[in-house]
Amino acid sequence: MTTIRQADFIDSIADALQYISYYHPLDFIKALDEAYQREENEAAKNAIAQVLTNSRMSAQGHRPICQDTGIVTCFVKVGMGVQWDKTDLTVQQMVDEGTRRAYNNPDNPLRASIVADPAGARKNTGDNTPAVVHIDMVAGNEIEVMIAAKGGGSENKSKMAMLNPSDSIADWVVETLPKMGAGWCPPGMLGIGIGGTAEKSAVLAKESLMESVDIHELIERGPQNAEEELRLEILNRVNALGIGAQGLGGLTTVLDVKIKSLPTHAASKPVTLIPNCAATRHVHFTLDGSGAADLTPPKLEDWPDVTFELGDDARRVNLDEVTKEDIQDWKMGETVLLSGKLLTGRDAAHKRIKGMLDNGEELPVDFNNRFIYYVGPVDPVGDEVVGPAGPTTSTRMDKFTDQMLEEAGIIGMVGKAERGPEAVESIRKHKAVYLMAVGGAAYLVAKAIKKSRVVAFEDLGMEAIYEFEVEDMPVTVAVDSDGQNAHTQGPAIWKAKIADLNEKLGA
CATH number at residue 442: 3.20.130.10
Residue 499 in any domain: the answer is: no
At 444 the pLDDT is 92
Mean pLDDT in runs of 10 for the chain (507 residues)?
97 98 96 96 93 95 95 98 96 98 97 96 95 98 98 96 98 97 95 98 98 96 97 98 96 98 98 95 97 95 85 88 97 95 97 97 97 95 94 96 98 97 98 96 94 96 95 96 96 94 71
Same domain, 167 and 46: no
Task: Give the whole-angstrom CA distance, residue 341 versus residue 359.
Answer: 28
Using CA atoms, how far residue 44 sits from 23, 36, 239, 482, in Å, is 23, 8, 13, 22
Task: Give the whole-angstrom CA distance, residue 495 versus residue 104.
Answer: 45
Task: Give the whole-angstrom CA distance, residue 341 versus residue 370.
Answer: 8
Of the candidates 86, 105, 69, which has an alpha carbon nearest to the alpha carbon of residue 9?
A: 86
At 507 the pLDDT is 55
What is the sign, positive or negative, of the torsion defined by CA atoms of 347, 351, 354, 360? negative
Reduced to 3 states (helix: H, G, I; strand: E, B; else coil), residue 481 is coil
Task: Give the whole-angstrom CA distance, residue 326 versus residue 501.
Answer: 39
Residue 219 in any domain: the answer is: yes
Residue 43 in any domain: the answer is: yes
Same domain, 110 and 254: no
Residue 500 in any domain: the answer is: no
Instruction: Name the residue range of residue 60's domain.
Output: 1-151+281-308
Phi, psi of 429 (to 5 degrees): -60, -40
Same domain, 210 and 77: no
Task: Give the whole-angstrom CA distance, residue 315 versus residue 334.
Answer: 8
Q: With contact defined as beta carbons under 8 Å apart, do 96 and 6 qualify?
A: no
Across all residues in the chain, what is the average pLDDT?
Answer: 96
At 35 the pLDDT is 97
Burial code of 23-46, b = ≥16 C-beta within 10 A, e = fewer?
bbbbbbbbbbbebbeebebebbbb
H, E, C per residue of 362-379: CCCCCCCCCEEECCCCCC
Same domain, 377 and 464: yes
Same domain, 301 and 389: no
Same domain, 330 and 272: no
Task: Give the whole-angstrom CA distance, residue 231 versus residue 257.
Answer: 5
Same domain, 142 and 59: yes
Residue 426 in any domain: the answer is: yes
Q: With contact defined as beta carbons under 8 Å apart, do 396 and 418 qualify?
A: no
Same domain, 237 and 130: no
Q: Where would I find the beta strands (DSSP E) of 159-253? A: 159-163, 188-196
Task: Give the whole-angstrom CA distance, residue 376 versus residue 346.
Answer: 7
Of the candidates 215, 166, 167, which has an alpha carbon nearest to the alpha carbon of residue 188?
A: 215
Q: With contact defined as beta carbons under 8 Å apart, do 245 and 187 qualify?
A: yes
Task: Give the whole-angstrom CA distance, residue 20 versus residue 77.
Answer: 20
Same domain, 231 and 106: no
Beta-strand relationship, 143-150 and 71-79: antiparallel
Same domain, 85 and 210: no
* AA identity, residue 277: C
Same domain, 236 and 333: no
- Number of other CB atoms surrounding residue 62 within 10 Å: 15
Burial class (CB in 10 A: 0-12, 13-18, 19+), 459: exposed
* Count of domains forming the chain: 3
Residue 186 in any domain: the answer is: yes
The pLDDT tens digits of the residues spanning 99-155 come to 999 999 999 999 999 999 999 999 999 999 999 999 999 999 999 999 999 999 999
Of the candidates 55, 63, 73, 54, which has an alpha carbon nearest to the alpha carbon of residue 13?
A: 73
Helix ranges (H only) for 283-397 are: 347-358
Reduced to 3 states (helix: H, G, I; strand: E, B; else coil), residue 236 is helix
Same domain, 381 and 423: yes
At 503 the pLDDT is 75
Residue 501 in any domain: the answer is: no
Q: With contact defined as beta carbons under 8 Å apart, do 437 and 382 qualify?
A: no
Task: Give the whole-angstrom CA distance, residue 73 versus residue 127.
Answer: 15
Residue 77 in any domain: the answer is: yes
